[in-house]
Chain A
Amino acid sequence: MCERSTEVALSTPSKFAVSSAVGLTERITSGKRDVRGRVVEWLLLSTLGLTLLVLVALIVNLLDRAWPVLDGRFGDFLSSGLDASNAQEAGVWQAIRGTVTLAIIVIVVSFPLGIACAVYLEEYASRSRLARSIRINVRNLAGVPSIVYGILGLTIFVKFAGGITGGRTVIAGGLTLSVLVLPVVVITASEALRAVPRSIREGAMGVGATQWETVRSHVLPSAAPGILTGTMLALSRAAGEAAPLLLVGGITGLLRTGNLGLWEQITKGGFTSVPVAIFSYARQTGADFQAVTAAASLILLVLVVVINGLAIWLRNRFERNW
Chain B
Amino acid sequence: MSDSRNLIEQETVLEQNHEEATTGSDASNNDVPVFRTKDLSVFYGDFRAIRDVSVYIKAREITAFIGPSGCGKSTVLRCFDRMNDLIPTARVEGTVEYHGVNLYNREVDAVEVRRRVGMVFQKPNPFPKSIYDNLAFGPRLNGIKKKADLDVIVESSLKRAALWDEVKDRLKASAMGLSGGQQQRLCIARCIAVEPDVILMDEPCSALDPIATARIEDLMQEIKRDFTIIIVTHNMQQAARVSDQTAFFTTEVNPESDRRTGVLVEFDKTQKMFSNPSDSRTEAYVTGRFG
Check: B194 CB closer than 8 A to any chain A CB.
Answer: yes
Bound complex: CA A219 to CA B114 (Å): 18
1/0 contact string of B190-212 vs chain A (CB within 8 Å): 11011000000000000000000
Check: A203 CB closer than 8 A to any chain B CB.
Answer: yes
Give the number of residue pairs across the A-B interface with Cβ within 8 Å: 69
Task: Collect the chain A residues with CB atoms within 8 Å of residue B8's CB.
Answer: none
Chain A interface helix/strand/loop/mixed? helix
Bound complex: CA A31 to CA B137 (Å): 61
Contact call A206/B123, Cβ cutoff below 8 A: no
* A321 to chain B: closest residue by CB: B129
Given the known interface contacts A206-B191, A207-B138, A208-B141, the answer about A200 and B86 at a Cβ–Cβ threshold of 8 Å is: no
Which of A206, A210, A322 is the one whose CB lies under 8 Å from B83? A206
Given the known interface contacts A202-B121, A203-B121, the answer about A208 and B86 at a Cβ–Cβ threshold of 8 Å is: no
Contact call A201/B112, Cβ cutoff below 8 A: no
Bound complex: CA A218 to CA B81 (Å): 20
Q: Which of A250-268 contact B (CB under 8 A)?
A: none
Bound complex: CA A204 to CA B134 (Å): 10
1/0 contact string of A227-264 vs chain B (CB within 8 Å): 00000000000000000000000000000000000000
Q: Which of B91-125 contact A (CB under 8 A)?
A: 111-112, 114-116, 118-121, 123, 125
Contact call B141/A206, Cβ cutoff below 8 A: no
Bound complex: CA A202 to CA B118 (Å): 11
Contact call B119/A202, Cβ cutoff below 8 A: yes
Check: B130 CB closer than 8 A to any chain A CB.
Answer: yes
Bound complex: CA A30 to CA B112 (Å): 71
Task: Collect the chain A residues with CB atoms within 8 Å of residue B141's CB.
Answer: 207-209, 213
Which of A199, A201, A210, A217 is the one whose CB lies under 8 Å from B111? A210
* B122 to chain A: closest residue by CB: A199
Contact call A206/B127, Cβ cutoff below 8 A: no
Which residue among A126, A198, A199 has the maximum number of chain B CB atoms within 10 Å of its CB?
A199
Which of A197, A201, A210, A222 is the one whose CB lies under 8 Å from B86? A201
Q: Nearest Cβ in chain A — how far from B213, in angstroms?
A: 20
Contact call A202/B86, Cβ cutoff below 8 A: yes
Check: B174 CB closer than 8 A to any chain A CB.
Answer: yes
Q: Nearest Cβ in chain A — how far from B176, in angstroms?
A: 8
Task: Collect the chain A residues with CB atoms within 8 Å of residue B174's CB.
Answer: 322
Task: Collect the chain B residues with CB atoms within 8 Å of residue A209's CB.
Answer: 111, 114, 137-138, 141
Q: Nearest Cβ in chain B — how far from A129, in angstroms?
A: 11
20 additional A-B residue pairs with CB within 8 Å, beyond A206-B118, A322-B174? A197-B125, A198-B86, A199-B121, A199-B125, A201-B86, A203-B121, A203-B125, A203-B126, A203-B190, A205-B83, A206-B191, A207-B114, A207-B118, A207-B191, A208-B116, A208-B138, A209-B114, A209-B138, A210-B111, A322-B130
Interface residues of B (CB under 8 A from A): 81, 83, 86, 88, 111-112, 114-116, 118-121, 123, 125-130, 137-138, 141-142, 174, 187, 190-191, 193-194
